[in-house]
Structure 1
Amino acid sequence: MTTSKTSLALALLCLSLFARAETFTFTAIPDEDESRLVQRFTQVSDYLEKELGVEVNYIPVKSYAAAVTAFRNNQVQLAWFGGLSGVQARLQVPDSLALAQGYEDQFFKTYIIAHKSAGLTKSDNFPNAIKGKTFTFGSKGSTSGRLMPEFFIREHFKQAPQKVFQRVGFSGDHSMTIAQVQAGAYQLGAVNYLVWETELAAGKIDLTKASVIWETPNYADYQWTIRGDADKRYGKGFTEKVRKTLLNMKEPSLLQAFPRKSFVPASNSDYEAIESTARAIDILQ
């Protein structure tokens, strides 16, 4: 190979490596059916790519823990996390930042739902009668599907859920929790209120079989978190550019994909209560 051809080959190789290095990759916790998530976040990827001026890829993951691992290992530089998974990720990657949360995420809540066989109706007071029944959480790493409902259960009964309920399960995601309770596989479940409302509006819930019996007090939940080394990799000011791009996401079809009415600024301090709760019930060491 001639010197000129060698130089050209090396230049092309360098350009190829540079292009790959500049790809900005993100993921999201799998809180719903994967096919729905891919559809949702592919359009978000297109929006980010256009606004940020870099190649953007969305990669799905199989679990909440996998999302945190991908973030820690720099397989993704941005992630749509739940409250707890965001705390876990930021603890593992120095200087990482919560950038934005949905407007609704400032006032998030969990629904406790029940199959008709439980014989329970909705109440403003914590439902004592759930004791002794079967209960499913969502993912073990879910804020709305596990952390916060477990906190309120422990606070009320002064016991771990395994002592309160006849049987305890983990469905893996909110959609599956709804399906299992609606089918009677579990008498009770803890579910993200937005997933419940979305599936109810879509006609996927039969209220003669399952219904909401209690809702938790509000807490902060989902947020976009970016790695602390993003500016070093993509250039000075990139983190702030990502924040502004997320806050300027106004297209109704994009917002409906979450679903959120808008995005508002978030900071790490917004999730201090999540961290302290997780430590209190030994989810964080």
Structure 2
Amino acid sequence: MLRYLSLTLALLLASPLAAAQTLVFTAIPDEDETRLQQRFQAVADYLAGELDVEVRFIPVTSYAASVTAFRNNQVQLAWFGGFTGVQARQLVPGSRAIAQGVEDPDYRSYFIANQATGLEYHDGDTAPEGLRGLTFSFGSQSSTSGRLMPEYLLRQDLGDSPDELFARVGYSGNHSRTVSVVESGAYQAGVLSYTAWENEVESGNVDLDSVQVIWESPPYPDYQWTVRGDVDERFGDGFTERLTRALLDMDDPELLASFPRSGFIPADNEDYREIQEVAQSLGLLDE
């Protein structure tokens, strides 16, 4: 009998009803996992205080896994990149982009190169021709700043696909690892989020005698908070608006520095139409 009751309790705790008052969120793993856990646990604590519900952050192992967790309702909120946000909203009708960083409407990618290549900073509107023939590392295959927009710009500016442009193409998995593989010489050049580069430099994790920025991309929209469209049914009428307000009101310098962002501003799905169209043009998203 006791065993039966224990099993019943376990099933109840695992059920959606028992978890009804827990808001679960995730984030694309664009940096080291330990650092992400530290960043977003503080965000979970902040949101719990603002919303008066339990809030839990769960890490994921890949960009694709963040989209899968959102689709399967394992998480109701996610800090997505531009492309992963578009993917998630396409898979979950009614989901909405609700907030973005002040910096996100004009986001950029930094192209970096090992100093041994001899490449210098290219102050131009188009990708430098000097990248041609090098070994090159993107970040995650689903990264907006580490793959999607850089590939689009390379094709547009230099006229060839990455496989045609470079001697060898790799995918490091995240921005931090892209810095590492280019710094070590495993790849001669690569591309990553400008905020990730600046964060790594500020943290003392980059040997600037071994790797440097050689080109800054034109701006494009990127990261955003996306929420499932059914959260009001789960947490009560007006919850989406309360959640949005909590994100927009986040002003603790330590919390903001963890993103890093100077603040958050409103966002909506239409802000990411450019990303959707680029992904479709590259065959990475259905029309």
Q: Secondary structure at the match of 1:40?
A: helix
Distance 2:129 2:41 in 1: 43
* 2:109 paired with 1:113: no
Offset of 1:199 from its aligned partner?
A: 0.9
Q: What TM-score do you get using the length of structure 2 for normalisation?
A: 0.93
Distance 1:17 1:210, change over 3 A: closer
Q: Distance in 2 between matches of 1:161 and 1:54?
A: 46
Counterpart Cα distance in 1 of 2:119 and 2:153: 18
Distance in 2 (CA, whole Å) between partners of 1:236 and 1:131 is 54
* Paired letter, 2:212: S
Give 1:270's aligned residue: 271
The 5 A counterparts of 1:1-285 are 18-125=17-124, 126-285=127-286
Offset, 1:157: 2.1
- TM-superposed CA distance for 1:118, in Å, is 1.3
Whole-Å separation in 1 of the counterparts to 2:162 and 2:249: 41
Unmatched tracts of structure 2, length 5 or more:
none
CA separation in 2, counterparts of 1:127 and 1:160? 15
Classify the secondary structure of the residue corresponding to 1:36: helix
CA distance in 1, matches of 2:283, 2:178: 23
Opposite residue 221 of structure 1, the aligned amino acid is: D
The CA distance in 2 between the partners of 1:17 and 1:79, in whole Å, is 19
TM-score (norm 1): 0.94
Query: What is the CA–CA distance in structure 1 between the aligned matches of 2:187 and 2:252, rounded to whole Å?
Result: 38
Opposite residue 229 of structure 2, the aligned amino acid is G
Distance 1:20 1:263 in 2: 28
Q: How far apart, in 2, do the equivalents of 1:255 and 1:19 lie? A: 32
Q: Which amino acid aligns with 1:241?
A: R
Task: Look up the SS of the partner of 2:254 in the other structure.
Answer: helix
Counterparts of 2:186 and 2:156, CA distance in 1: 26
**Superposed displacement of residue 244, structure 1:** 0.3
Inter-CA distance 131–17: structure 2 relative to 1 (3 Å threshold): closer
Q: Tell me how far 1:36 sits from its aligned partner.
A: 0.1
Instruction: Give, in angstroms, the shift of residue 106 of structure 1.
Output: 1.4
Comparing 29-38 with 17-26, greater Cα deviation is found at 17-26
The Cα shift of 1:17 comes to 6.6
Q: Bigger shift: 66-75 or 20-29?
A: 20-29
Matched residue SS, 2:164: helix
Which letter does structure 1 place at the counterpart of 2:71? R
TM-aligned CA deviation for residue 233 of structure 1: 1.3
| Structure 1 CA distance for aligned equivalents of residues 202 and 114 of structure 2 | 19
> For this pair of structures, how many residues does the alignment match?
276
Q: Structure 1 residue 138: deviation in Å?
A: 0.1
Q: Distance in 2 between matches of 1:253 and 1:157?
A: 41
Within 2, Cα distance between the matches of 1:273 and 1:17?
Answer: 36
Root mean square deviation of aligned Cα? 1.7
Q: Secondary structure at the match of 2:86?
A: helix
State the alpha-carbon separation in 1 of the partners of residues 164 and 234 from structure 2.
49
Give, in angstroms, the shift of residue 156 of structure 1: 1.4
The residue type equivalent to 1:101 in the other structure is Q
- Give the direction of change, closer, same or farther, for the CA distance of 1:17–1:183 in structure 2 (3 Å limit): closer
CA distance in 1, matches of 2:95, 2:276: 15
Counting aligned pairs with the same residue, the percent is: 55
Between the aligned partners of 2:24 and 2:60, the Cα distance in structure 1 is 12
What 5-or-longer segments of structure 1 have no aligned partner?
none
The one-letter amino acid paired with 1:102 is G
Q: Which whole-Å deviations, capped at 9, do the CAs of 1:241-260 have from their partners, x for residues lacking one?
A: 11000000011111011010
Tell me which structure has the larger Cα radius of gyration: 1
- Aligned-partner Cα distance in 1 for 2:17–2:136: 50
Three-state SS of the structure 1 residue aligned to 2:20 is helix
